[in-house]
Every structure is written in C-alpha cells, then in structure tokens.
Amino acid sequence: MKRLLAFTVMMLLLSPLALARGEGVTMLFSFAGDTTLGGHEGWMDYSKGTFKVMAQEQGYGYFLKEALPHFSNDDLTMLNLEGVLADSGEGQNKNVNWNFRGTTDYAAILTLGSVEAVTLGNNHTADYGEAGLKSTKDALDAAGILYSLDDKTFIFEKDGVKVGFMGFTASSYVNYKALLPRMIADLKEKENCSAVVLQYHGGKQYRQTHNNKQTEDMRYAVDSGADLVIGHHPHVLQGMEIYQGRTIVYSLGDFCYGGNRKPRESEYPTMVLQAALTFEEGGRYQSQQLTIHPYQISATRPRNNYQPYPVFGDMAEEVLALIQKDTPFTLNPFVPGLGAVQERVFR
C-alpha cells in the first residue's frame, strides 16, 4: 500500500505533540465518484468518441494519469465502479436503457491509476445479471482490487489499525437497513475495526442539492455506527455536513465516466476527496479531516476525453462554490498545493 504523505499536509493533520511523540496512526484515503470503465453496450462498435476507442489509442494508463499525484500519495484510493467488467454481453438486462460494460482487462486501468478499492454498490452493477457481476468480481480479484457490495465488506489495515468499508445502492440499503447497526458492530467488535466507512449510492440525478431521503439514509448510517459516509449517483457535486461528530458527503459527482460521451455542463465539475482518519495509540478512533481537491471530468467539450484532471484558480472556485451551495457551514478555501483543507472533526 501507498505510504507517502507530504510533510505540509501531515502538519495540518496531526498535532505537534503527537508528531513529536510518534503516537497513534493516521490513514489517508482518497475517494472519487462515478467511474465507468467502458460504455453503453450499443457503443461497442463506434469508431470514435468512446471510452473503448480512447483505450485503444492512448493505452490504459491514460485515464487516471492526471489523478496520480493524489492517488499515489495516500494509503488507499477508492472509486465507485459503475458498470461491469466482462468480455461478452452475456446476461444483458435489455429492460433498462443503459448497460455499461468494459472488458475484464480494463481492471488494469485501476491498478495503473493507483486505485486499490472500489464500491460495487450502485445501480449498474447488475446490468448483466449474475454472469456480469461474477465476471466483474473475478476481474477485480485477479487484479488485487478490493471491493464492497451490500454484505460483502473489506478491511484495510495499517500499523495494526483496521478500517472497514461498506457499499450500498439506495435500493439495497432498504433491505439492509435493519441489519446495519449489527453489521457495523460486527466489523468493530468481531473484526476489531477502529472505524467504518460507508458508501451510499442514491439521490436524484443532476440535482445539485441533496434530498430528504439522502439525509435520512446517510444520517442513519452514522447513527448505526459509521464514521464517514460518502455518497454518489446524482452525477453532480453536492454538499456535506457534520452530523454527530462525523462527516457526510452527499455526492462526489462523476469522475472517469465512460457512461456519457457528451457530458452535461453540470457534470464537468468534480473532486477528489481525501479523508485523513487519525487514531490514538492503541487504535481508538480520534478524528477526521477532509480535503477537497477540485477536478473536472474532462479537458474537452462537448466530447468527453475520459481523463479527469485537477483544476485551479477560477475553475477550482467553481467547484468549491457548488459544494458550498449545499453545505450548511462555511467551507475553508482552496489553497494551491494543499487543496481546500477542512476543519478537523473530533469524535
């Protein structure tokens, strides 16, 4: 796993006393939103403008190249993998308008991009039924990529401290809601996790403010024991809140998104969200601190070039303004070289 942390960022995350004593553990996680490695089944034979053509022309390292400065300097990077990795269209659900698929070797895009984990808790995981889901899991396993989906969780460990990860789509969350407190308790009590991160795929598409259902479901996750709740699905950025000493981020927006060849203007602003979780000596959870790194999903318009890249100046301010619009507290500003480092939130 990746362990490099810039000294200036560490100074923001840890108290001078803790640094001097070398006490406790800090983990830095990077999160980004909807990532479709491939495209709609009906685009497979197109000769231009698709994710497949770009992969053939540019190679698999192209897509996440601009995000590597963030993804390679953390402990774990996690994306929402919205689509299937399969070498055929077996099991395609033709009752829905969009079926997203990339070939199994597209898993290399994740490894080349320094991505260690994904959530499969989204509405496109089942685009190709059980056959597609199995193929996706097998491709991720072969590439060494961790994943979460409903009751399939994973655990990340650093210096003896463990963090559990969960992922749900809004429809499956309903089925697991009554079980969630016990599931989180099991991660903490039986698996000795010091914290749990839950990802939630829900909300209204293209709406830049979260709705009551998101609030209810994501706050419930905190009430059930989750320590950080991350959302996606609306395809646009939404805000965040501090609830019961934990952070809820309502929507990360799109990221490396092969599901739209001509994105809407509202889809272009996005972010890499980095969360530093600190733990006291002995592994007891202490605090979290989030940093917003403004991005755009593509450097070209109206065609998507499927290569998200960090932005600065006015474009960075645009990203912060969109998040601020849906955030009840004042966000700290963007600082070049550091991002928009938010206040540390203690348990």
Position 119 pLDDT exceeds 70: yes
Mean pLDDT of the chain: 94
pTM: 0.94
Position 17 pLDDT exceeds 70: no
**21: pLDDT confidence band, cut at 50, 70 and 90?**
very low
User: Tens digits of per-residue pLDDT, 188-225?
Assistant: 999 999 999 999 999 999 999 999 999 999 999 999 99
User: Tens digits of per-residue pLDDT, 251-295?
Assistant: 999 999 999 999 999 999 999 999 999 999 999 999 999 999 999
Residue 291 is predicted with a pLDDT of: 98
Residue 66 is predicted with a pLDDT of: 98
User: Tens digits of per-residue pLDDT, 134-170?
Assistant: 999 999 999 999 999 999 999 999 999 999 999 999 9
Residue 108 is predicted with a pLDDT of: 98
**9: pLDDT confidence band, cut at 50, 70 and 90?**
very low
**347: pLDDT confidence band, cut at 50, 70 and 90?**
confident
Residue 3 is predicted with a pLDDT of: 44
Mean pLDDT over residues 47-52, rounded?
95
User: Tens digits of per-residue pLDDT, 290-334?
Assistant: 999 999 999 999 999 999 999 999 999 999 999 999 999 999 999
Position 236 pLDDT exceeds 90: yes
Instruction: Report, at the CATH architecture level, how domain 7-346 is classified.
Output: 4-Layer Sandwich (3.60)
- The Cα–Cα gap between 3 and 158 comes to 9
- The Cα–Cα gap between 144 and 147 comes to 10
Residue 250 is predicted with a pLDDT of: 98
